[in-house]
A and B are shown apart, each in its own frame.
Chain A
Amino acid sequence: MTDGSRPVVVVTNLDDATTDLVLAELHGREVPVVRFDSGDFPAQLTFSAQIEREGWSGTLTTPTRSLQLEHARSLLYRRPSGFAFPHLEAQDARFAVGQARHGLGGLLTSLPDCLYVNHPNRIGDAEFKPAGLAAAVQSGFTIPPTLLTNERDAAQRFAERYAPVLYKPLNVPVYLRDGVSCTVSVEPVTADQLDDSVAGTAHLFQAIVPKVADIRTTVIGRKVFSVRIESDALDWRTTYGRHTYRAVSTPPDVTASLFSYLERFGLVFGAFDFAVTEEGNWTFLECNPSGQWAWLEDETGLPMISAFADLLEKGTRP
């Protein structure tokens, strides 16, 4: 099989407009694509694979494509809806999900000679904020004073010493109230607001960076795209429509830290958030290994879709 006919594999849910933009670009380049969602399994997805000396080989069949697993040139792992067996009772469903995750999920993490953008297990590692902050420190980024705790006294002492501080969720699972998707509002907290409920689970507190703007830096392979976002919000992600966007260059020391960070996790893509101080220093807030980025091309004209398609088309580690 020639390299040009090797398919790009895409694992995501059906409602993923960012991925659609990349796939339209790949289609224009006549790069073959096989897309599916884990939620399609097993009703619309079948597979068989055998292990040989060269690794796993076999076939995965979707309603519209047949994929030779060993031919995958790259795999874009975005946001699959997750294995689900709603027709089974809870215990049986749990068993079936486990078999699917370790069987098909495990197979998809083990394809030979395939560039992962990103590898699902590396995404899983990098989604832990404590791991991300540790990697950020090791990579030379400046980070805000940060406390992890479930002890009220420690939280209060931190809030007094570093005021103003904020509470950030460590993880945001689906949280529905009357069917409406909710998230935690990122707001300053004061020591007197912190009561015994801190003991109930793990919390992350962080000093608020005195910032004049935010930067979203998207790394796609070896390409770095930084956009300065001006808004009056503590968390710009919750207040659309009042922002201005401007492409900016990335300082060389920040660029070195970006690649060091991604290398530590084995990632080839990352969406980094920084707060910029009046002096122009970039403070690391977080890196999302599956972050959104396409709206920034809309806003700034930066050629991000094309860079993403390049990465998947090339299929080799950048």
Chain B
Amino acid sequence: MVPYPASGSPEYVRAELAPDTQTTRYLDADGSLVRAPGHGTSTGTNPPTGTGNPSDGKGPGGPSGGGDQDTGNDGDQ
């Protein structure tokens, strides 16, 4: 096991869903909007990241194979 390459540390402290667009907005400690992590870059594979993360579901956020966690597929088939 080796660490994923480090990605730039995100400068946001909080993320929330924008009611109108249903996209995520990232806020700093003062509640100001900051740039979304990963947008416009192809670098960084240490999840969670943005558009440049083809590590594909291996991050803490995603189904990691072996059956989906939220639906009908049990893990040890």
List the interface of chain A (C-beta within 8 A of B): 10-11, 13-18, 20-21, 23-24, 27, 33-35, 38, 63-65, 78-83, 100-102, 105-106, 108-109, 120-121, 123-125, 127-128, 170-175, 177, 180-185, 216, 237-241, 243, 245, 271, 288, 290-295, 298-299
Query: What is the bound-complex CA distance between A18 and B57, given in angstroms?
Result: 13
Q: Contact at B69–A82, with CB atoms within 8 Å?
A: yes
**8 Å CB contact of B36 from A20, A173, A182:** A20
Query: Which residues from chain B contact A299 at a C-beta distance below 8 Å?
Result: 42
Sample of 8 further A-B pairs with CB below 8 A, known A82-B69, A298-B52: A23-B23, A78-B62, A125-B73, A183-B4, A271-B56, A290-B56, A291-B57, A295-B53
Q: Contact at B24–A20, with CB atoms within 8 Å?
A: yes
**What total of chain B residues lie within 8 Å of the partner, measured CB to CB?**
52
Query: What is the bound-complex CA distance between A17 and B60, given in angstroms?
Result: 15
List the interface of chain B (C-beta within 8 A of A): 1-5, 15-17, 19-24, 36-73
Minimum Cβ distance to chain B for residue A86 (Å): 14
Q: Contact at A17–B38, with CB atoms within 8 Å?
A: yes
- The DSSP consensus for interface residues of chain A is mixed
Q: Contact at A127–B72, with CB atoms within 8 Å?
A: no
Q: Which of A17, A18, A23, A128 has the most CB of B within 10 A?
A: A17
Query: What is the bound-complex CA distance between A10 and B24, given in angstroms?
Result: 12
Q: Contact at A38–B56, with CB atoms within 8 Å?
A: no
Q: Contact at A238–B73, with CB atoms within 8 Å?
A: no
Q: Contact at B63–A79, with CB atoms within 8 Å?
A: yes
Q: A124 and B71 in contact (CB under 8 A), knowing A81-B61, A183-B55, A290-B63?
A: yes
11 A-B contact pairs sorted by A residue (CB < 8 Å):
A18-B50, A35-B17, A105-B68, A121-B72, A174-B59, A175-B1, A180-B4, A181-B47, A238-B45, A271-B54, A298-B42
Query: Which residues from chain A contact B40 at a C-beta distance below 8 Å?
Result: 298
**8 Å CB contact of B56 from A175, A182, A288:** A288
**8 Å CB contact of A17 from B21, B46, B51, B55:** B51
Query: What is the bound-complex CA distance between A254 and B48, given in angstroms?
Result: 32
Q: A13 and B22 in contact (CB under 8 A), knowing A20-B36, A80-B70, A182-B1?
A: no
Which 5 residue pairs spanning A and B have beta carbons closest together?
A17-B50, A79-B62, A124-B73, A294-B51, A295-B52
